[in-house]
A and B are shown apart, each in its own frame.
Chain A
Amino acid sequence: MIKDIKKRGQEEIVGFVVIVVIVSVILLVLLSFLIRNPSEEIVNNYEVESFIQSALQYTSECEDSTEFLAVQDLIIACSEKTICLDDKDSCNVLNETIKGLITKAWNVGEGSAVRGYKFSVSEDEVGTLLIKEGNETSNYKGAVQPFARRGKEYEVFLNIYE
C-alpha cells in the first residue's frame, strides 16, 4: 500500500518535472532568438535614394559644345542617340559611368554583402536602359528617382540585392 502511494507520487513528480523541463527548454530557445541583437541593415533605402540623387549629378567624361554632361543629361543624350565631342557614344559612356559609380559605392561582387544590382531607366514608362550585375535575390533595397525634361518623363530605378 505504502509502496504503491510512494510510486504514484514519484511518477507524478517525474511527470511534472519533465513537463517543466520541456516548457523551460522551449521558452529558453525562444528567449535566445529574441535576446539576439537585431541584425544591422547592410543597405538602407535612404542610401539607395541619395545614391541615385548624387549619381545623377555626377559629371561624366562626355562633353558637348558647352559643358561636360552630368549623368542626368547623359541619360537624355543616350535616349537621343547623341555622340560626345570626342566621338564617343553617349550610351557607352553612360554604361561605363553607371557601372563605375555603383561598383565603387556598393562594393558589388564575390565575398561582399551586396550580391548584385539592377539599374534601369524608363522614358515615358518605356524601358530604355538596363544595367545589371551579380545575382538578383529576394532581399533587396531599392529607390526610384523621377525627372522631366523637354516634355518627357524619365524614371531612374536602382535595386541593390543583399
Chain B
Amino acid sequence: MVARTPNRFNSKKGQLKIQQMAFMLIAIFLLFILAGMFFLSINLYNVRKTAVNLEEQNSMLLVSKLANSPEFSCGNSFGTSRLNCIDFDKLIVLEDKKEEYAELWGVAKIEIRKIFPRDDTICSYENYPDCGVIKIVDKKVNTLPASSNFVSLCRKEANERMIYDKCELALLMISSEDKT
C-alpha cells in the first residue's frame, strides 16, 4: 500500500502533463491557423481591392474607347471635335447591322439609353429619332454587371427655320460575358 503511492502519484502527474501538452498543442495549432487566416484575408482583401480598381479602370477605358471610336463618335459632324459624344444617326445604322458587328467589340451587350429627356422606347428605323433605347450588341448570354458612363447623344434636327445640332444626355452601358 505504501509502495504504490509514489507510482500513483507519478502516473497522475504524467497524465496531467500529457493533458496539459495536448491542450497546449491544440491551442497553439488553432492560434496559428487563425493567424494564418488573418494574414491570408489581408492579402485577399488587397487583391480584391486591386481587382475592383482594375475592373473599374478597364470599364472606364472601354466605355471611353467605344464612345470615341469611329463607329460611335460624332467626329466633326457637330462643329468641333467633342469628347464622349455619340452620333445618334450612326447608331441607328449600326443597330440595323448589329449581327455583322456583334464580335467587333468583344463584349456581350452594348446599350445606349437616353436619360434626359427620358424615353424608354426601343429604337428602330420606323420610330427614329423619337425613341430612347438602342441596343447595338445584345448576345443572349449571362453577363457581368454593366459598366456605364455618361455620353452626349447628338443628331441633326430640323425645324421650319433651320437645321441644327440636337444633343441629349444618355448613358452608354456595356456588359461583358460572365464566363465563370
Contact = CB atoms under 8 A, between A and B. Distances in A.
Interface stretch (B87-95, B136-144, B159-167): B159-167
A44 B148 CA distance: 11
B60 A17 contact: no
Interface residues of B, number: 47
Given A9-B16, A17-B27, A104-B115, A58 B152 contact: yes
A126 interface: no
Nearest to B28: A20
Interface in B42-88: 42, 44-45, 48-49, 52, 56, 60, 64, 82-85
Contacts, number: 113
Given A5-B16, A6-B16, A54-B84, A104 B166 contact: no
Interface stretch (B29-37, B99-107, B122-130): B29-37
A50 B151 contact: yes
Contacts of A100: 116
Contact of B149 (A9, A47, A66, A101): A47
Interface string A1-28: 0100110010011001100100110011
Contact of B38 (A2, A20, A31, A55): A31
Nearest to B67: A50
A67 interface: yes
B121 interface: no
Interface stretch (A32-40, A108-116, A117-125): A32-40
Given A13-B23, A16-B23, 8 more contacts: A5-B13, A24-B34, A53-B83, A54-B151, A58-B168, A59-B166, A59-B167, A104-B118
